[in-house]
Amino acid sequence: MDISLSHVDYRYQANTPFERLAIQDVSIDIPSGTYTAIIGHTGSGKSTVLQHLNALLVPSEGRVTIGDREIKAHKKNKDLRQVRRRVGIVFQFPEHQLFEETVEKDIMFGPMNFGVSEAEARIRAQHALKQVGLGEEILVKSPFDLSGGQMRRVAIAGVLAMEPDVIVLDEPTAGLDPRGRKEIMDMFYQLHQERQLSTILVTHSMEDAARYADRIVILQGGKVVKKGTPEEIFSSPAELLQMGLDVPEVVRFQLKLEEKCGMNFNKIYLSIEQLSSAVAEQLGRGVKS
């Protein structure tokens, strides 16, 4: 399902002394089936954009198109419920939203809230639990008896049980150790490929943006300042550093190699495997370190 934002502004507490323009003239196209990363500093407008992606917020100016549904500023936008069913959001620390007495009931809650029968919701709960790598034996357990990592996976299963066309990930690895972070991100990437989901990752992690996304949007001061493929975005590391943004570790390592070892590469590499091959090729041609 395609999503697009066209010249979107959003003002918090409009027409009050506390009015604040959070995003301005934001235009982003997210084609169906793509994996898009939205990156930027705290306060750049990422969370405000995120909430427009399933109509939690309605634009102050401009329009948002979600599938065949258009949401415009200054218009009465009725029945946004189905939009929210089709776009699932995994917020930071989703385990904080668990509340039911059993894992099964927690996962079933969302689908049943949108009119799915109890029998169908139960089937969805079992399937979603498998998708996040957990066994059916925990369905009868209280979610609060699980480990932190299991709780997060149960919360994610609750979003997947809605069977969304689009999944939005808001810093989904917050608070996890490096191993847990990679496991969760690999799981989402596998789901993205298997279910052909449109996936939108809102993150400050350049590593995750480079590794998983095929399109990147950079926000700064509530505006889109750059967008392109990971290769295009990270081909100008000095520009990103000027913005106060980081670059992936492999890019920093490549820059050090060029500076310290006299190596010259004709492109930026986004994985250590690619960089290793390029280094081996240069060494094979007699480049001395």
The predicted pLDDT at position 289 comes to: 43
Which range marks the domain in which residue 281 is found?
248-289
CA atoms within 13 A on the CB side of 47: 8
- Split into its structural domains, the chain has a count of 1
Residue 259 is assigned to a structural domain of this protein: yes
Give residue 8's Cα distance to chain centre: 20
Tokens representing residue 49 in the block = 């954009």
Residue 272 is assigned to a structural domain of this protein: yes
What type of residue sits at position 53?
L
74-88, 133-147, 157-171: the lowest-pLDDT one: 74-88
Residue 258 is assigned to a structural domain of this protein: yes
**Which residues lie across from 11 on neighbouring strands?**
21
Residue 256 is assigned to a structural domain of this protein: yes
> pLDDT digits over 110-127, tens only?
999 999 999 999 999 999
> pLDDT digits over 269-286, tens only?
888 888 999 888 888 776
Residue 279 is assigned to a structural domain of this protein: yes
Residue 83 is assigned to a structural domain of this protein: no
> pLDDT digits over 144-197, tens only?
999 988 999 999 999 999 999 999 999 988 888 888 889 999 999 999 999 889
Residue 289 is assigned to a structural domain of this protein: yes
Residue 145 is assigned to a structural domain of this protein: no
Asked if residues 212 and 193 have their Cβ atoms less than 8 Å apart, the reply is no
Asked if residues 164 and 87 have their Cβ atoms less than 8 Å apart, the reply is yes
CA nearest to 220, candidates 62, 63, 61, 39: 39
> pLDDT digits over 6-18, tens only?
999 999 999 999 9
> pLDDT digits over 253-271, tens only?
998 888 888 888 888 888 8
